[in-house]
Structure 1
Amino acid sequence: MKKIIITCLITLFTMVGLVHLYNNWYIDYNLRKYSVYYAHNMEHKEGTHPEMAMALENMDVIYKPNKKNIRYRDDGGFIIYNTFSNNEQVIISCYPRAKELHYIYHDFTKKSYHFNEALRLEYGYDSSTGHDKIDARTVDQEVLYKDIYKNFGFLVEANVNRKPRINLQKEFNKKYYKRFN
Structure 2
Amino acid sequence: MLKKVFLSVFVVGLVSAFCLGYGMLNLKKNSVYYAQHTPHSEGVEPVLMEVTSNLDSIYTPDIKGIKYDYDGNNIIYNTDSNGKTAAFSYYSSELYRYYDKGDVTYVFDGNFKIVRIFDDENLEYLSKPVDVSAVKRDIYRTVKPVVDAQSEPFINLKWIYDWVNKDRFN
State the TM-score, normalized to the length of structure 2.
0.88
Q: Which amino acid aligns with 1:170?
A: W
Q: Find out whether 1:38 has 2:34 as its counterpart.
A: yes
1:165: which partner in 2? 154
1:141: which partner in 2? 132
1:59: which partner in 2? 55
CA contact (8 A) 2:87 2:142 kept: no
Q: Find out whether 1:109 has 2:102 as its counterpart.
A: yes
CA distance in 2, matches of 1:167, 1:68: 30
CA distance in 2, matches of 1:87, 1:70: 12
Between 77-86 and 165-174, report the one with greater CA deviation.
Answer: 77-86
Q: Find out whether 1:76 has 2:60 as its counterpart.
A: no
CA distance in 2, matches of 1:17, 1:103: 39
Q: Identity over the aligned pairs, expressed in percent?
A: 33
Secondary structure in 2 aligned to 1:129?
coil
CA distance in 2, matches of 1:86, 1:6: 72
Q: Superposition pairs for residues 9-48 of structure 1, below 5 Å?
A: 9-48=5-44
Give unpaired runs (5+ residues) of structure 2.
none
CA contact (8 A) 2:67 2:76 kept: yes
State the TM-score, normalized to the length of structure 1.
0.83
Give unpaired runs (5+ residues) of structure 1.
none
